[in-house]
Amino acid sequence: MRRRAGLGAIQKQKLEQEKYKDKGNEIQENQFEQMTKQLEVFKINLEEFATKHKNEIRKNPEFRKQFQEMCASIGVDPLSSGKGFWSVLGIGDFYYELAVQIVEVCLATNYKNGGLIGLDELRTRLIKARGQSKQHQEISKDDLIRAAQKLKIFGSGFNVVPMGKGKYMVQSVPGELSMDHSAILQQAEKNQAFVSVSYLRRELSWEMERSQKALEHMVNQGLAWVDLQNPQEKLYYFPSLFTACVNASS
Protein backbone atom coordinates (compact mmCIF):
# COMPACT_ATOMS: atom_id res chain seq x y z
CA MET A 1 0.00 0.00 0.00
CA ARG A 2 1.46 3.36 -1.09
CA ARG A 3 1.85 6.01 1.57
CA ARG A 4 0.28 9.34 0.84
CA ALA A 5 2.60 12.32 0.77
CA GLY A 6 2.73 14.11 4.07
CA LEU A 7 1.79 17.74 4.63
CA GLY A 8 5.47 18.68 5.03
CA ALA A 9 6.37 17.16 1.66
CA ILE A 10 3.52 19.02 -0.05
CA GLN A 11 4.58 22.34 1.48
CA LYS A 12 8.20 21.68 0.46
CA GLN A 13 7.14 20.99 -3.12
CA LYS A 14 5.03 24.15 -3.17
CA LEU A 15 7.95 26.25 -1.91
CA GLU A 16 10.23 24.82 -4.60
CA GLN A 17 7.67 25.62 -7.31
CA GLU A 18 7.37 29.21 -6.08
CA LYS A 19 11.16 29.47 -6.00
CA TYR A 20 11.39 28.33 -9.64
CA LYS A 21 8.60 30.75 -10.58
CA ASP A 22 10.38 33.68 -8.89
CA LYS A 23 13.63 32.74 -10.63
CA GLY A 24 11.85 32.59 -13.98
CA ASN A 25 10.32 36.04 -13.41
CA GLU A 26 13.73 37.39 -12.46
CA ILE A 27 15.27 36.04 -15.67
CA GLN A 28 12.45 37.52 -17.76
CA GLU A 29 12.86 40.92 -16.09
CA ASN A 30 16.62 40.86 -16.74
CA GLN A 31 16.07 39.95 -20.38
CA PHE A 32 13.48 42.70 -20.77
CA GLU A 33 15.82 45.22 -19.16
CA GLN A 34 18.65 44.22 -21.50
CA MET A 35 16.38 44.47 -24.54
CA THR A 36 15.18 47.90 -23.41
CA LYS A 37 18.78 49.11 -23.09
CA GLN A 38 19.63 47.72 -26.53
CA LEU A 39 16.64 49.52 -28.05
CA GLU A 40 17.67 52.78 -26.40
CA VAL A 41 21.15 52.42 -27.88
CA PHE A 42 19.61 51.61 -31.25
CA LYS A 43 17.40 54.72 -31.05
CA ILE A 44 20.41 56.91 -30.22
CA ASN A 45 22.31 55.46 -33.19
CA LEU A 46 19.25 55.94 -35.38
CA GLU A 47 19.01 59.60 -34.39
CA GLU A 48 22.71 60.08 -35.18
CA PHE A 49 22.19 58.36 -38.53
CA ALA A 50 19.14 60.54 -39.28
CA THR A 51 21.06 63.71 -38.42
CA LYS A 52 23.97 62.72 -40.65
CA HIS A 53 21.78 61.77 -43.60
CA LYS A 54 19.00 64.30 -43.09
CA ASN A 55 19.13 65.77 -46.59
CA GLU A 56 19.29 62.38 -48.30
CA ILE A 57 16.28 61.16 -46.30
CA ARG A 58 14.28 64.19 -47.42
CA LYS A 59 15.32 64.11 -51.09
CA ASN A 60 15.79 60.42 -51.96
CA PRO A 61 12.52 58.41 -51.86
CA GLU A 62 14.26 55.00 -51.89
CA PHE A 63 16.57 56.04 -49.05
CA ARG A 64 13.55 57.44 -47.21
CA LYS A 65 11.76 54.08 -47.55
CA GLN A 66 14.73 52.18 -46.11
CA PHE A 67 14.95 54.67 -43.25
CA GLN A 68 11.24 54.18 -42.47
CA GLU A 69 11.78 50.41 -42.38
CA MET A 70 14.69 50.86 -39.96
CA CYS A 71 12.47 52.98 -37.71
CA ALA A 72 9.62 50.46 -37.84
CA SER A 73 11.97 47.65 -36.75
CA ILE A 74 12.34 49.30 -33.33
CA GLY A 75 8.86 50.75 -33.04
CA VAL A 76 9.68 54.36 -33.94
CA ASP A 77 7.24 56.25 -36.16
CA PRO A 78 8.71 59.59 -37.31
CA LEU A 79 5.40 60.42 -39.00
CA SER A 80 3.53 60.57 -35.71
CA SER A 81 6.33 62.36 -33.85
CA GLY A 82 5.56 66.01 -34.40
CA LYS A 83 7.72 67.19 -31.53
CA GLY A 84 11.20 66.57 -30.27
CA PHE A 85 14.09 65.24 -32.34
CA TRP A 86 12.06 63.71 -35.18
CA SER A 87 10.32 67.01 -35.94
CA VAL A 88 13.72 68.38 -37.03
CA LEU A 89 13.71 66.04 -40.04
CA GLY A 90 10.39 67.41 -41.23
CA ILE A 91 9.34 63.94 -42.46
CA GLY A 92 6.01 64.13 -40.70
CA ASP A 93 5.22 67.48 -42.32
CA PHE A 94 6.10 66.06 -45.73
CA TYR A 95 3.67 63.13 -45.36
CA TYR A 96 0.87 65.23 -43.88
CA GLU A 97 1.19 67.70 -46.76
CA LEU A 98 1.14 64.78 -49.18
CA ALA A 99 -1.95 63.33 -47.48
CA VAL A 100 -3.81 66.62 -47.96
CA GLN A 101 -2.87 66.66 -51.64
CA ILE A 102 -4.07 63.04 -52.00
CA VAL A 103 -7.45 64.08 -50.62
CA GLU A 104 -7.60 66.96 -53.10
CA VAL A 105 -6.88 64.69 -56.07
CA CYS A 106 -9.38 62.07 -54.87
CA LEU A 107 -12.13 64.67 -54.50
CA ALA A 108 -11.34 66.18 -57.90
CA THR A 109 -11.57 62.81 -59.70
CA ASN A 110 -14.39 61.27 -57.65
CA TYR A 111 -17.07 62.24 -60.18
CA LYS A 112 -15.56 60.03 -62.89
CA ASN A 113 -13.94 57.13 -61.03
CA GLY A 114 -16.41 56.69 -58.18
CA GLY A 115 -13.77 57.30 -55.51
CA LEU A 116 -11.28 54.64 -56.60
CA ILE A 117 -8.00 55.68 -58.20
CA GLY A 118 -4.91 53.70 -59.16
CA LEU A 119 -1.68 54.55 -57.35
CA ASP A 120 0.13 55.22 -60.65
CA GLU A 121 -2.50 57.70 -61.80
CA LEU A 122 -2.56 59.32 -58.37
CA ARG A 123 1.22 59.76 -58.44
CA THR A 124 1.12 61.21 -61.97
CA ARG A 125 -1.58 63.72 -61.02
CA LEU A 126 0.25 64.71 -57.82
CA ILE A 127 3.55 65.28 -59.59
CA LYS A 128 1.77 67.47 -62.15
CA ALA A 129 -0.07 69.41 -59.43
CA ARG A 130 3.07 69.88 -57.33
CA GLY A 131 5.06 71.13 -60.31
CA GLN A 132 8.73 70.72 -60.97
CA SER A 133 9.84 73.21 -58.33
CA LYS A 134 12.97 72.19 -56.42
CA GLN A 135 11.25 72.95 -53.14
CA HIS A 136 9.05 69.88 -53.63
CA GLN A 137 10.54 66.52 -52.70
CA GLU A 138 10.34 63.64 -55.15
CA ILE A 139 7.48 61.30 -54.25
CA SER A 140 7.44 57.52 -54.65
CA LYS A 141 4.67 54.94 -54.51
CA ASP A 142 5.84 54.02 -51.01
CA ASP A 143 5.45 57.66 -49.96
CA LEU A 144 1.89 57.69 -51.32
CA ILE A 145 0.94 54.50 -49.49
CA ARG A 146 2.32 55.78 -46.18
CA ALA A 147 0.56 59.13 -46.58
CA ALA A 148 -2.73 57.53 -47.64
CA GLN A 149 -2.65 55.16 -44.69
CA LYS A 150 -2.53 58.19 -42.39
CA LEU A 151 -5.94 59.16 -43.77
CA LYS A 152 -7.52 56.21 -41.95
CA ILE A 153 -8.05 58.54 -38.99
CA PHE A 154 -11.02 59.90 -40.97
CA GLY A 155 -12.70 56.47 -40.85
CA SER A 156 -13.42 54.04 -43.65
CA GLY A 157 -13.67 56.84 -46.20
CA PHE A 158 -10.00 56.41 -47.16
CA ASN A 159 -8.37 53.06 -47.69
CA VAL A 160 -5.42 51.55 -49.57
CA VAL A 161 -6.55 48.52 -51.59
CA PRO A 162 -3.86 45.94 -52.54
CA MET A 163 -4.29 44.69 -56.12
CA GLY A 164 -1.50 42.12 -56.15
CA LYS A 165 1.95 42.18 -57.80
CA GLY A 166 2.88 45.42 -56.06
CA LYS A 167 -0.12 47.35 -57.38
CA TYR A 168 -2.48 49.42 -55.22
CA MET A 169 -5.55 51.61 -55.48
CA VAL A 170 -6.70 54.36 -53.14
CA GLN A 171 -10.37 54.29 -52.17
CA SER A 172 -11.88 57.59 -51.05
CA VAL A 173 -15.51 56.63 -50.44
CA PRO A 174 -17.02 55.00 -47.32
CA GLY A 175 -17.28 51.22 -47.26
CA GLU A 176 -14.65 48.53 -47.56
CA LEU A 177 -14.12 46.45 -50.69
CA SER A 178 -14.54 42.73 -50.17
CA MET A 179 -12.23 40.04 -51.54
CA ASP A 180 -14.71 39.52 -54.39
CA HIS A 181 -14.60 43.20 -55.34
CA SER A 182 -10.80 43.21 -55.31
CA ALA A 183 -10.76 40.06 -57.46
CA ILE A 184 -13.08 41.73 -59.99
CA LEU A 185 -10.82 44.79 -60.18
CA GLN A 186 -7.81 42.57 -60.81
CA GLN A 187 -9.63 40.82 -63.64
CA ALA A 188 -10.81 44.11 -65.14
CA GLU A 189 -7.27 45.46 -65.08
CA LYS A 190 -6.17 42.50 -67.21
CA ASN A 191 -9.12 42.91 -69.58
CA GLN A 192 -8.99 46.54 -70.72
CA ALA A 193 -10.94 47.85 -67.70
CA PHE A 194 -14.11 45.78 -68.11
CA VAL A 195 -15.61 42.40 -67.21
CA SER A 196 -18.86 40.52 -67.65
CA VAL A 197 -20.64 37.80 -65.70
CA SER A 198 -19.53 35.15 -68.19
CA TYR A 199 -15.95 36.45 -68.07
CA LEU A 200 -15.84 36.11 -64.27
CA ARG A 201 -17.39 32.68 -64.50
CA ARG A 202 -14.72 31.61 -66.97
CA GLU A 203 -11.73 33.21 -65.22
CA LEU A 204 -12.73 32.77 -61.55
CA SER A 205 -15.17 29.83 -61.76
CA TRP A 206 -17.84 31.89 -59.98
CA GLU A 207 -21.54 31.14 -60.06
CA MET A 208 -23.75 33.66 -61.86
CA GLU A 209 -25.40 34.88 -58.63
CA ARG A 210 -22.06 35.61 -56.99
CA SER A 211 -20.82 37.64 -59.96
CA GLN A 212 -24.04 39.60 -60.34
CA LYS A 213 -24.24 40.46 -56.65
CA ALA A 214 -20.66 41.76 -56.52
CA LEU A 215 -20.97 43.70 -59.79
CA GLU A 216 -24.28 45.30 -58.85
CA HIS A 217 -22.81 46.45 -55.55
CA MET A 218 -19.91 48.11 -57.37
CA VAL A 219 -22.33 49.79 -59.79
CA ASN A 220 -24.41 51.10 -56.89
CA GLN A 221 -21.26 52.48 -55.27
CA GLY A 222 -20.35 54.33 -58.46
CA LEU A 223 -17.24 52.21 -59.01
CA ALA A 224 -18.48 50.60 -62.25
CA TRP A 225 -20.46 51.66 -65.30
CA VAL A 226 -22.84 49.38 -67.17
CA ASP A 227 -22.68 49.04 -70.96
CA LEU A 228 -26.01 47.80 -72.32
CA GLN A 229 -25.05 48.05 -75.99
CA ASN A 230 -23.33 44.70 -76.14
CA PRO A 231 -25.83 42.25 -77.76
CA GLN A 232 -24.60 39.21 -75.80
CA GLU A 233 -24.62 40.49 -72.22
CA LYS A 234 -23.96 43.47 -69.97
CA LEU A 235 -20.43 44.74 -69.77
CA TYR A 236 -19.14 46.40 -66.60
CA TYR A 237 -16.49 49.09 -67.05
CA PHE A 238 -14.28 50.50 -64.29
CA PRO A 239 -13.28 54.14 -64.96
CA SER A 240 -10.64 54.02 -62.24
CA LEU A 241 -8.69 51.60 -64.48
CA PHE A 242 -8.99 53.54 -67.75
CA THR A 243 -5.67 55.37 -67.36
CA ALA A 244 -3.81 52.22 -66.33
CA CYS A 245 -5.13 50.31 -69.35
CA VAL A 246 -4.27 53.14 -71.75
CA ASN A 247 -0.72 53.33 -70.38
CA ALA A 248 -0.33 49.55 -70.64
CA SER A 249 -1.42 49.49 -74.28
CA SER A 250 0.64 52.48 -75.38
**Across 95-120, average pLDDT:** 87
Residue 204: predicted pLDDT: 95
Residue 137: predicted pLDDT: 65
Residue 56: predicted pLDDT: 78
**Nearest Cα to 243, choosing from 169, 150, 132, 139?**
169
Q: 176, 207, 242: which is the final residue of a domain?
A: 176
Query: Does 80 score more than 80 pLDDT?
Result: no
d(CA 242, CA 188): 10
Residue 1: predicted pLDDT: 47
Residue 3: predicted pLDDT: 52
Residue 42: predicted pLDDT: 67
pLDDT band at 217 (very low <50, low <70, confident <90, very high): very high
| Residue 95 sits in the same domain as residue 171 | yes
Q: How many distinct structural domains can be found in the chain?
A: 2
pLDDT band at 234 (very low <50, low <70, confident <90, very high): very high
Coil/strand/helix, residue 53: coil
Residue 203: predicted pLDDT: 96
- Which contacts qualify for 173-182: CB closer than 8 Å, 24 or more apart? 173/110, 173/114, 173/115, 173/116, 173/221, 173/222, 175/221, 178/214, 180/210, 180/214, 181/214, 181/217, 181/218, 181/223
Residue 134: predicted pLDDT: 44
Query: Between residues 88 and 168, which one has the greater pLDDT?
Result: 168
Q: 146, 176, 206: which is the final residue of a domain?
A: 176
- Give CA angle at 215 (209, 217), nearest 5°: 100
Query: Does 235 score more than 50 pLDDT?
Result: yes
**Summary mean pLDDT of the chain:** 79
**Across 195-208, average pLDDT:** 95
**Across 149-169, average pLDDT:** 79
Query: Domain with 204 in it: what CATH number?
Result: 1.10.10.10
| Residue 165 sits in the same domain as residue 210 | no
Query: Does 247 score more than 60 pLDDT?
Result: no
Range of the domain at 160: 79-176
Q: 140, 156, 176: which is the final residue of a domain?
A: 176
- Mean pLDDT is lowest, of 23-32, 100-109, 144-153, for 23-32
| Residue 199 sits in the same domain as residue 215 | yes
Asked whether residue 60 is domain-assigned, the answer is no
How far does Cα 169 stand from its chain's mean position? 10
The reported pTM is: 0.62
Residues 6+ apart with CB under 8 A from 6: none
CA dihedral 10, 14, 16, 22 (to 10 degrees): 180
Q: Are 103 and 151 in contact (CB under 8 A)?
A: yes
Residue 133: predicted pLDDT: 47
pLDDT band at 176 (very low <50, low <70, confident <90, very high): confident
pLDDT band at 250 (very low <50, low <70, confident <90, very high): very low
| Residue 192 sits in the same domain as residue 218 | yes
